[in-house]
């Protein structure tokens, strides 16, 4: 059993073990702290009539009748039902009733060993000073019984065992419970974000497929009637692009080499499809080995760029793509011709989706900017790359795949 399972598992056996561990720790802490106080009191005349075993039994009684019931009542009822839901009036009433009830239980426990002779319920006529007179309360306080003014309040001392120590254990248990809930909430949010990224990636693939396939297949059909070699080359590149989209993009990170290979195949397909009508220049510098990137991150920029260049109002459309890879960063810069009649680059849906993906996958690890001035626009992207640490097993699998 791992530490994570011990803390977060909902199995009844592990939960029971977890709670037993907590109460064993609290019992040991409570016994040590209050036991030292008991020894000090035993050295005086205040508690000389009671054996030490009696007070340790009193500690156990306080834990069983006040600490454990009070802690669970607060953690599993008052805290989630009233306090966390901000039901202020009910929270105040509940806390008052909670305090009064356990103060009464604490008072009963105090009556058993120490306070019986001073209680207002004591009917023994031989006790000359019983109960709390108004004068005694005025002079010495509510918790100081008559006759023990110089020795301090034994009821107050008993409340330290029960009610006041209950506040300590509730505070500790509340911190643990709230911190655990916060961690679980963080894990749930991370899971939701991962699922959101997968959904957005699947949506991106569905957005790319229909338009991209229709245009490419139309061009392949045209070339199949006139230029067989070009059609065969396009079919080969298209199969590689689709294979990557269908089988390699389901992971959160893919090797950067594969993403660059996809980009080159896509550029090659578009060059063949436009047959020189758009001048596309792609330059890649740096080493892409052992680096990873989120899949289909650069393709929307390329697709959006080519769609803007495919405009009859542009006489000589052109696109320049510069991609520089350093040890830990990727710099992608795309410049191209842009029609003045087209909408601004910042307002396109594909760029809005790209920004959302970048904020989710690379929070505070990217810089993206897209501006257009007249008939020229510039898109720049910088992201922090992750390094892939291959094991010997991974290298053997990669070698096997390369020869199969």
Q: Of 138-152, 253-267, 341-355, where does mean pLDDT reach its minimum? A: 138-152
Measure the CA–CA gap between 38 and 36, rounded to whole angstroms: 5
Instruction: Give the pLDDT band of residue 237 (cuts 50, 70, 90).
Output: confident
Q: How far is CA 35 from CA 39, 164, 237, in A?
A: 6, 16, 80
Partners of 292 in the β-ladder: 255, 386
Q: Rounded mean pLDDT of 142-170?
A: 61
299: pLDDT strictly greater than 60: yes
pLDDT of residue 378: 87
Indicate the CATH number of 193-402 among 3.30.930.10, 2.40.50.660, 1.10.530.10, 3.30.565.10: 3.30.565.10
Would you give the DSSP letter of residue 118?
G
Would you give the DSSP letter of residue 75?
I
Q: Rounded mean pLDDT of 13-21?
A: 89
Q: What are phi and psi of 205, to 5 degrees?
A: -65, -40
Instruction: Give the pLDDT band of residue 165 (cuts 50, 70, 90).
Output: confident
Instruction: Say which residue, 128 or 221, is predicted with more confidence.
Output: 221
- Extract long-range pairs of 307-313: CB within 8 Å, 24+ residues apart: 308/336, 308/337, 308/338, 308/339, 308/342, 308/345, 308/377, 309/278, 309/336, 309/337, 309/338, 310/274, 310/278, 311/339, 311/341, 311/342, 313/339, 313/340, 313/341
Instruction: Give the pLDDT band of residue 330 (cuts 50, 70, 90).
Output: very high
pLDDT of residue 360: 79
Partners of 387 in the β-ladder: 291
382: pLDDT strictly greater than 90: yes
pLDDT of residue 231: 76
Angle of helix 228-243 relative to helix 256-274, nearest 10 degrees? Answer: 150
pLDDT of residue 157: 55
Answer for the pair 280, 380: CB distance below 8 angstroms, yes or no. Answer: no
Rounded to an integer, what is the distance from CA 26 to the centroid of its chain? 29
pLDDT of residue 211: 60
Instruction: Give the pLDDT band of residue 333 (cuts 50, 70, 90).
Output: very high
Measure the CA–CA gap between 401 and 399, rounded to whole angstroms: 5
Answer for the pair 198, 182: CB distance below 8 angstroms, yes or no. Answer: no
- Extract long-range pairs of 201-208: CB within 8 Å, 24+ residues apart: 201/249, 201/295, 201/296, 201/357, 204/296, 204/300, 204/353, 204/357, 205/245, 205/249, 205/296, 207/350, 208/245, 208/296, 208/299, 208/300, 208/303
Would you give the DSSP letter of residue 344?
P
* Torsion angle, alpha carbons of 254, 260, 261, 264, to 10: 150
Instruction: Say which residue, 111 or 171, is predicted with more confidence.
Output: 171
324: pLDDT strictly greater than 60: yes
Q: Rounded mean pLDDT of 222-227?
A: 69
Measure the CA–CA gap between 39 and 30, rounded to whole angstroms: 14
pLDDT of residue 290: 87
Q: What is the pLDDT of residues 21-47, one digit of tens each?
A: 999 998 888 877 776 665 555 555 444
**In whole numbers, what is the pLDDT of the chain averaged over residues?**
75
The tokens describing 46, both together, are: 């205040």
Measure the CA–CA gap between 60 and 388, rounded to whole angstroms: 56
72: pLDDT strictly greater than 90: yes
pLDDT of residue 40: 59
Instruction: Give the pLDDT band of residue 341 (cuts 50, 70, 90).
Output: low
Q: What is the pLDDT of residues 98-135, one digit of tens each?
A: 988 888 887 777 666 554 444 444 444 444 444 444 44
Partners of 370 in the β-ladder: 379
State the sign of the Cα–Cα–Cα–Cα dihedral 115, 121, 125, 128: positive
pLDDT of residue 320: 92
Question: Residue 228, SS3?
Answer: helix
Residue boundaries of the structural domains of the chain: 3-161, 193-402
């Amino acid at each position: 059993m791992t530490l994570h399972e011990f803390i977060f598992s909902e199995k009844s056996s592990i939960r029971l073990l977890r709670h037993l561990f907590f109460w064993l720790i609290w019992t040991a802490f409570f016994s040590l702290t209050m036991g030292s106080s008991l020894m000090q009191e035993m050295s005086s005349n205040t508690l000389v009539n009671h054996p030490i075993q009696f007070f340790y039994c009193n500690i156990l009684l306080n834990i069983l009748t006040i600490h454990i019931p009070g802690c669970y009542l607060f953690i599993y009822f008052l805290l989630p039902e009233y306090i966390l839901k901000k039901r202020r009036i009910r929270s105040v009433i509940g806390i008052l009733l909670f305090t009064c009830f356990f103060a009464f239980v604490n008072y009963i426990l105090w009556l058993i060993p120490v306070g019986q002779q001073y209680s207002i319920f004591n009917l023994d006529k031989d006790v000359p000073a019983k109960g709390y007179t108004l004068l005694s309360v005025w002079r010495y306080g509510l918790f100081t019984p008559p006759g023990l003014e110089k020795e301090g309040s034994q009821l107050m001392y008993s409340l330290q065992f029960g009610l006041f120590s209950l506040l300590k254990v509730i505070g500790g248990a509340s911190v643990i419970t709230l911190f655990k809930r916060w961690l679980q909430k963080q894990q749930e949010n991370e899971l939701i974000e991962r699922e959101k990224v997968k959904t957005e990636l699947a949506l991106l693939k569905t957005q790319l497929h229909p338009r991209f396939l229709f245009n490419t297949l139309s061009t392949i059909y045209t070339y199949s009637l006139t230029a067989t070699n070009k059609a065969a080359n396009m079919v080969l590149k298209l199969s590689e692009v689709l294979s990557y989209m269908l089988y390699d993009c389901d992971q959160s990170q893919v090797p950067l080499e594969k993403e660059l290979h996809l980009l080159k195949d896509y550029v090659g397909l578009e060059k063949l499809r436009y047959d020189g009508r758009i001048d596309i220049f792609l330059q890649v510098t740096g080493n892409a080995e052992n680096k990873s990137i989120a899949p289909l991150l650069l393709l929307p920029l390329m697709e959006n760029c080519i769609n803007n260049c495919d405009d009859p109002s542009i006489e000589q459309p052109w696109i320049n793509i510069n991609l520089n890879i350093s040890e830990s960063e990727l710099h992608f810069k795309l410049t191209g011709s842009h029609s003045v009649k087209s909408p601004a680059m910042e307002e396109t849906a594909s760029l809005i989706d790209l920004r959302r993906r970048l904020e989710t996958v690379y929070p505070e690890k990217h810089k993206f900017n897209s501006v257009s001035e007249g008939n020229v626009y510039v898109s720049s992207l910088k992201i922090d790359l992750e390094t892939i640490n291959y094991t010997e097993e991974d290298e053997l699998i990669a070698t096997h795949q390369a020869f199969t």
